[in-house]
């Protein structure tokens, strides 16, 4: 653990911009907002981000990799989501989620899962809807402008930046593997794209 008990050093969180929100906020995300900058951008509380990443990692570690699906419609998160899947062995839908995969057993692509992780509740709303229909818990990376209906666990973070998403997924992968007694060989850079 880094100083102050953080999962990574505070400077790394700040450097990757994981705390930079949008100019809009929802009532769902108000509790995670630290302040509003002069230019109107909301700033997320880094301590809350770290705390929620820790809790999400503990929750995820209760599931086998084959029971977890990661969905990422947002192109900025494709590299991070794919790297997370490759490192941990979970299934990933980077890009468009084909409807019915979780709900229609008549499809050749039908799959069962016990946990869904989404990169952006707005972009990934179709897979969230399917998860609700079959009773799968949903963990979502949420920015200041996200609605959180039908989300079981919110991880506040900048879910639009490539480097921010890379850091979030790298931390989750590292902690997931650590709980299994394994070590993550990839670096944060392997999860990130240059902005």
Give 58-106 pLDDT, tens digit per residue.
Answer: 999 999 999 999 999 999 999 999 999 999 999 999 999 988 999 999 9
Strands 138-142 and 115-118: parallel
Residue 139: Cβ-neighbour burial (10 angstroms; 0-12, 13-18, 19+): buried
Average pLDDT over residues 11-38: 95
- pLDDT confidence of 194, banded at 50, 70, 90? low
Q: Evaluate whether residue 181 is within a structural domain.
A: yes
3-state class (DSSP) for residue 142: strand
The predicted structure's pLDDT at residue 177 = 97
Q: Evaluate whether residue 3 is within a structural domain.
A: no
Q: Evaluate whether residue 6 is within a structural domain.
A: no
Q: Which domain holds residue 64?
A: 16-191
* Residue 32 near residue 45 (C-beta atoms within 8 A): yes
**pTM as predicted:** 0.94
* Residue 62 near residue 15 (C-beta atoms within 8 A): no
Number of domains the chain is built from: 1
Q: Evaluate whether residue 180 is within a structural domain.
A: yes
* Residue 149 near residue 47 (C-beta atoms within 8 A): no
Instruction: Tell me the CATH number at 109.
Output: 3.40.50.10490
The mean of the pLDDT values for the chain is 94
Q: Evaluate whether residue 2 is within a structural domain.
A: no
Q: Which residues contact 165 (CB under 8 A, 6 or more apart)?
A: 76, 77, 80, 81, 119, 141, 157, 158, 159
pLDDT tens by residue, 10-20: 999 999 999 99
Residue 1: pLDDT above 50? no
Neighbouring C-alpha atoms within 13 Å toward the C-beta of 139: 23
Q: Evaluate whether residue 124 is within a structural domain.
A: yes
The predicted structure's pLDDT at residue 3 = 53
pLDDT tens by residue, 148-167: 989 999 999 999 999 999 99
């Amino acid at each position: 653990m880094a100083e102050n008990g953080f999962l990574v050093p505070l400077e790394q969180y700040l450097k990757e911009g994981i705390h930079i929100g949008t100019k809009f906020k929802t009532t769902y995300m108000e509790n995670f907002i630290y302040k509003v900058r002069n230019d109107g951008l909301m700033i997320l509380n880094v301590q809350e981000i770290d705390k929620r990443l820790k809790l999400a990692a503990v929750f995820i570690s209760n599931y086998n990799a084959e029971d977890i699906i990661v969905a990422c419609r947002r192109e900025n998160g494709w590299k991070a989501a794919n790297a997370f899947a490759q490192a941990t062995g979970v299934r990933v839908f980077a890009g468009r989620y084909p409807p019915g995969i979780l709900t229609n057993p008549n499809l050749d692509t039908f799959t069962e899962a016990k946990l869904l992780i989404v990169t952006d509740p707005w972009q990934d709303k179709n897979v969230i809807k399917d998860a609700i229909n079959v009773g799968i818990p949903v963990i979502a990376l949420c920015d200041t402008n996200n609605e959180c209906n039908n989300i079981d666990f919110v991880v506040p973070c900048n879910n639009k930046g490539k480097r921010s998403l890379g850091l979030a997924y790298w931390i989750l992968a590292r902690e997931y593997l650590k709980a299994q007694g394994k070590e993550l060989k990839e670096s944060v850079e392997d999860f990130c794209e240059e902005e």
